[in-house]
Chains A and B, each alone.
Chain A
Amino acid sequence: MLIKNNLPAEDTYVTVADDAPLPDGAVVVSLKRFRAERSDLLARNQKLGIVLDSDQSPEALGSDLDRLSLVVLEFPKFRDGRPFSWARILRTRLKFTGEIRARGDFLYDQIAFLKRVGVDAFELPPSITPELFARALTEMTNVYQPSADGRTTIVAMR
């Protein structure tokens, strides 16, 4: 199930394998395919998303980032914490305003962290219901450190 901006949402993107033909409409492709077919993909004038593996920094996208409406951060396993920095860099350094989506092996217990670093969409596994998702965001009321979510920190509230 897709959760976007804290609510269940319809997924309007189709993720397309590297060797599959492109359907009409919004698609998500790998960084590899994007590089190989860059001009064709941009010329479609449809919403475009790319998937970043956990070892692919969004900085590699350069100014092409402006042409993307979605970046999917893939968690190969939940212990791999690089996507947290990728999301943060996308929001804070690269000023990306499109959708950042978490996909793959992430845990309930990582949702609040992901939200803080700038992820606004989640492809939830069946074990995480929308109710649980909402609960994850209420566990810790306040935060000590600034992040991409712009929340007021404890230091600022004192």
Chain B
Amino acid sequence: MYRYDEFDARFVAERTEQFRFQVQRRLNGELTEDQFKPLRLMNGLYLQLHAYMLRIAVPYGTLSARQLRKLAEIARKYDKGYGHFTTRQNMQFNWPKLKDVPDILAELATVEMHCIQTSGNCIRNVTADHFAGAAADEIEDPRPVAELIRQWSSLHPEFSFLPRKFKIAVIAAPHDRAALRYHDAAVEIVKNDEGRTGYRVWVGGGMGRTPYLAYVVGDFVEKPDLLGFLEAIMRVYNENGRRDNIFKARIKILAHSIGEDEMRERVLREFQEIKTSGYLQVPDEERARIAAYFAPPDFERLTDEALPTDGDLGRWIVNNVTPHKQPGYAVATISLKPIGGVPGDISADQLDAVAQLMDDFGLTEIRASHEQNLVLPHVRQKDLPAVFARLQVLGLATPNAGLITDIICCPGLDYCDLANARSIPVAQEIAKRFADLDRQEDIGELKIKMSGCINACGHHHAGHIGILGVDKKGVEYYQLLLGGSAAEDASIGEIMGPGFGEHEIADAVERVVDVYLKLRRPGERFLDTYRRLGMEPFKNVAYGEQLHAAH
């Protein structure tokens, strides 16, 4: 994985001191909360319902065992003994004290971590395919590109006070595991007709109050030109993005109001000028230097094994293990969705134990996925039984990756200042309802995504079944959306109708799933059946006997 050189290390150390000075001025009263807010947000510090929340950057989701141990230490020392993985591959701590934050940052810096741009109206910490470097279908590892973008966007002098936040994702495979089309901008590594590798660049996706899918603005951007092309997009956005209404300030609104042709023209005009001046070309040597850090580990020469498919181990392998590009290796997902647990949460003890597991099995890195799970990208197939046994002891062996109980869920009203409704208890109730593994496997791939407010941190628009918590006169209601997808077949879910009460939503989900089981054709996922039949058959049953559906 990437290792800081002296420049990166100094940059993060100085950034920490810069933030320490900002905190000091806030505590002294030299900065008002209004002035401090964008500064602290640019360093991942939110003010939540009960306390500050600190969001730690995990660039493109990659972590080492050493970094996991540091996160565990911070969880114990400065928080309540656990942390939370987010839908942007980052980690959040919910209870730090403002005065401690500079010290936490200094501790993070010792393991090459930071909180730079995990929030605020700037270019956010970049995300990537969590199977990068391991997936059989990828053209190349997308993380060197993500790292290049991370560096270019760090304290960018021109684009740190944008109209609104700006999220970038990078993938390199036809199967999209990073929700590409829901990003403000996205880079897809592709090969052109001549077999040359370059970038397809997307712009204008987003969730929130007004969901949009991104469209292509650059069909084939040559490798040295990528940062110049992204800078062109950023300048068009910084100049033209709306600043009069926070709900219309994302680039998706600009992109879809001026349309594809106009956006292309503006971006290309900027890009041509940047390219002509030549100042943002990335030399081959620099790309090679970064790529070298992401060279695959020294794989042993192994052959594929016949993996068990029955018993507890078999189930875990069938559901949580994915083929690797290297014979004899596998990609293993560690589900952070135990039935009845909080999606994405992990305790300090579990963090330490996973680090130990990595050391014991020679695993140098682990990934956080946007689906709020962990991924061991390079496990020897012959080690799978022992890895599974260890995870079982740790309570981390839930065999539900990609199944109905593998729910994406925002923190909701239990933590978040913006939320209208609780989301964690609802996710827990649904997971318990479908806890039976035979039933889950029968249902197959079904992605439930749940947000406690329209900001859509829980990606409800992109759920095969999406759930949105709303507040009606002080009472929590839950809207159901069907047919969303964040994969390569991206689509925006459709709202079914009036919301359901707190104690009705799990019943409604169950009825919808039962209709699917009744109507599906062989091989159809829930999403396929929905796309074939539309909303009607699901809506007809979802409300059941409830006649009060007037919300």
Contacts and interface: CB of A to CB of B under 8 A. Distances in A.
B222 interface: no
Interface in A118-157: 127, 139-147, 154-155, 157
Contacts of A79: 38, 121, 161
A15 B251 CA distance: 36
Interface string A86-111: 00100011000000000000010110
Contacts of A92: 277
Interface in B446-471: none
Interface stretch (B12-20, B195-203, B501-509): B12-20
Interface string B1-34: 0000101101100110110011000000010000
Contact of B39 (A57, A85, A109): A109
B159 A81 contact: yes
Interface in B147-166: 151-163
B10 A141 contact: yes
Given A141-B14, A158-B5, A147 B155 contact: no
**Highest count of chain B CB atoms <10 Å: which of A92, A146, A147:** A146
A126 to B, nearest CB: 12
Contact of B11 (A57, A88, A107, A142): A142
A110 B159 CA distance: 11
B161 A147 contact: no
Nearest to B278: A146
Interface in B230-247: 235, 238-239, 243
A112 interface: yes
B439 interface: no
A110 B22 CA distance: 12
Contacts of A81: 121, 158-163, 238
B156 A145 contact: yes
B239 A158 contact: no
Q: How large is the interface on A (under 10, 10 to 19, 20 to 34, 35 or more residues)?
A: 20 to 34
B92 to A, nearest CB: 24
Nearest to B238: A85
B147 to A, nearest CB: 11
A121 to B, nearest CB: 17
A78 B426 CA distance: 40
Contacts of A57: 239
Given A139-B17, A146-B280, A109 B154 contact: no
B530 to A, nearest CB: 42
B286 interface: yes
Given A109-B39, A142-B10, A144-B151, A84 B157 contact: yes
A113 interface: yes
A116 B11 contact: no
A100 to B, nearest CB: 14
Nearest to B30: A127
Interface centre among B38, B158, B238 (most CB of A within 10 A): B158
B273 interface: yes
Contacts of B18: 139-140
A117 B289 CA distance: 28
Contact of B238 (A84, A110, A141, A157): A84
Contacts of A158: 5, 7, 286, 289
B546 interface: no
B151 A154 contact: yes
Contact of B161 (A80, A88, A116, A144): A80
Given A139-B14, A141-B14, A107 B35 contact: yes
Nearest to B244: A55
Contacts of B158: 81, 84-85, 88, 113, 116-117, 147
A82 interface: yes
A143 B159 CA distance: 14
Give the 10 A-B CB pairs with smallest separation, nearest first: A81-B161, A116-B157, A113-B157, A154-B7, A144-B151, A146-B279, A139-B18, A84-B158, A85-B238, A147-B157
Given A57-B239, A82-B239, A140-B18, 4 more contacts: A84-B159, A114-B157, A144-B151, A144-B156
26 contacts: A79-B38, A79-B121, A79-B161, A80-B243, A81-B160, A81-B163, A84-B160, A88-B158, A88-B235, A109-B39, A113-B157, A117-B157, A139-B18, A140-B11, A140-B15, A140-B155, A141-B14, A144-B11, A144-B151, A145-B151, A145-B153, A145-B157, A146-B280, A147-B157, A147-B158, A154-B151
